Amino acid sequence: MNPKQILTEADRCVKCGLCLPHCPTYRLTRDEGDSPRGRVSLMQALVSGSLESPGLYRHLDRCLGCLACESACPSGVKYGTLIDAVRALQPDRISWFRRYRLHLISRLPYLKGSRSLLRLYQQSGLRRSMRKLGGSGFRRLDDLLPALAKNSRLVPLYRPNNTARGRVALFTGCIGQITDRPALLAAVRLLTRIGFEVCVPAKQTCCGALHQHNGEPAVARRLAAANRRAFNALELDAIVHVASGCGVQLLEYERLGEKLNAPVKDICTFLTATGLVEELRFSALQRRVLLHHPCSSRRIPGAAAGAARLLDRIPGIELQALPDTGCCGAAGSYLLLQPEMADQLRQGVVDQVGQHACDILATSNTGCALHLAAGLRAPNHGVEVMHPVQLLARQLQ
């Protein structure tokens, strides 16, 4: 969007305030600048050139991009498109360090040996030394890292256990290559068990969401083009993802001019839609499980219902949906760029989890899982955080 288009779209906001109760940052700070209508006003002032101040950028930077406001808006303002467009108008505001960090996050997980090096770091004395010397900021980042399992590599092709019923490709995501490996392998196990051949294209790359929402749309489009080439080279029934944040971005590819030939499907929705999961048998689980619905999953049709229906197939499970407390504060790179606000938002979700006294928290977003697991790692919680398909595969007979 160019400045004129931004102002035209922003003018659709009538500042009615119906979005305010749905905005996590406004509920936390009660500052009009941290509300959707306040930010729209700031965008209008910035693009029109009538206002320029550090405070303006601080309010815009503190937006999570959860888009709860879009669902509540009676005027249909495309707030997500607006905030992305305004950030893209200010490339000079993105420091070289921030650009470099985004590049590392989106590229390092695809390099051979990156996971092994991280495991070595976790198991060596280097980790203890770095936690002592790195300060509170480093310790917070280190707390986000999950324990990495050994011998859990992904291979390019998995054959079905029985008669082939179709062929899908698995989108791994960037950070998911490291942090979501158990969920990815669980997805493969379930898909092959019900008769699907699973491809894991070697030339796939980051979905581009981190760049799209951090003022680098050109980089996001390049990544989308690379993924289009990697997946469109295959004959597929679907492209399946386990991370809802990646799924939302993949669904945007057609708008970016990089249409994928196969439909993009959330793993839980896909498994449920096949009807083949009914052929599987699961071991009983006498545990209380709380199902968390990430902001991104709410933008994927059927994702929340699909996860609940799948987990309900486990005998003995006591399943309950976590009440809607708003965004947990992960929000892609937000947990790295706005740590104080992210941790405050997380605390509300952690408190809710504690009140339900659950054993397992199931969530389908990588960032949410890392962020919430770090907040629930205290001794008085002891809650296990995992992807719904990970729990399902664990109970598979």
Q: 3-class secondary structure for 213-275?
A: CCCCHHHHHHHHHHHHHHHHCCCCCEEEECCHHHHHHHHCCCCCCCCCCCCEEEHHHHHHHHC
Question: Of 40, 58, 93, which residue sits at a domain end?
Answer: 93
Give me the residues paired with residue 69 across strands: none
Would the pLDDT of 41 be above 80?
A: yes
Average of pLDDT values for 348-369? 92
**Better-scored residue on pLDDT, 179 or 18:** 18
Six-digit token string for 56: 């303006």
* CATH number of the CATH domain containing 43: 1.10.1060.10
Residue 162 covered by a domain: no
Question: Of 61, 93, 125, which residue sits at a domain end?
Answer: 93
* Structural domain containing residue 339: 281-394
Tally of domains in the chain: 2
Percent of the chain with pLDDT over 70: 99
Say if CB 138 and CB 130 are below 8 A apart: yes
* 282 phi/psi in degrees, rounded to 5: -125, 145
Residue 237 covered by a domain: no
| CA-closest candidate to residue 42, choices 51, 7, 214 | 51
Q: Give the pLDDT of residue 147.
A: 78
Residue keyed to tokens 């951090």: 214
Say if CB 274 and CB 268 are below 8 A apart: no
Which helix (H) or strand (E) element contains residue 384?
strand 384-386
* CATH number of the CATH domain containing 358: 3.40.50
Please give the C-alpha separations between residue 302 and each of 43, 207, 305, in angstroms, as whole numbers.
33, 21, 5
pLDDT tens per residue across span 312-326: 999 999 999 998 878
Residue 227 covered by a domain: no
Strands 196-199 and 288-291: unpaired
Residue 11 covered by a domain: yes
Lateral strand order in the sheet of 264-266: 157-158, 196-199, 166-171, 238-241, 264-266
Question: Of 58, 77, 93, which residue sits at a domain end?
Answer: 93
pLDDT tens per residue across span 156-215: 999 998 888 999 999 999 888 888 899 999 999 999 999 999 999 999 999 999 999 999
Sequence-distant (6+) residues with CB within 8 A of 196 are 160, 164, 165, 166, 167, 168, 237
Q: At what angle do helices 36-48 and 3-10 cross, to 10 degrees?
A: 150
Q: Give the pLDDT band of residue 102 (cuts 50, 70, 90).
A: confident
Q: What's the CA gap between 7 and 242, in Å, rounded?
A: 36
Say if CB 392 and CB 282 are below 8 A apart: yes
Q: At what angle do helices 135-144 and 366-375 cross, to 10 degrees?
A: 120
Percent of the chain with pLDDT over 90: 70
Helices then strands (H, E): number in the chain?
21, 9
Six-digit token string for 66: 């959860």
Residue 260 covered by a domain: no
Q: What's the CA gap between 72 and 272, in Å, rounded?
A: 29
Q: Give the pLDDT of residue 381.
A: 73
Q: 21-30, 130-139, 320-329, 337-346: which range is least confident on average?
A: 130-139
Q: Give the pLDDT band of residue 113 (cuts 50, 70, 90).
A: confident
Q: Give the pLDDT of residue 379.
A: 63
Q: Which amino acid is at 345?
A: L
The mean predicted confidence, pLDDT, of the chain is 91
Q: Which amino acid is at 23?
A: C
Would the pLDDT of 151 be above 70?
A: no
Average of pLDDT values for 365-382? 86
pLDDT tens per residue across span 233-257: 999 999 999 999 999 999 999 999 9
Please give the C-alpha separations between residue 361 and each of 118, 266, 296, 329, 381, in angstroms, as whole numbers.
25, 19, 17, 16, 11
Q: 72-86, 95-109, 380-394: which range is least confident on average?
A: 95-109
Q: Give the pLDDT of residue 318.
A: 96
Residue 177 covered by a domain: no
Average of pLDDT values for 267-296? 94
Residue 295 covered by a domain: yes
Residue 87 covered by a domain: yes
Please give the C-alpha separations between residue 316 and each of 287, 313, 363, in angstroms, as whole numbers.
8, 9, 20
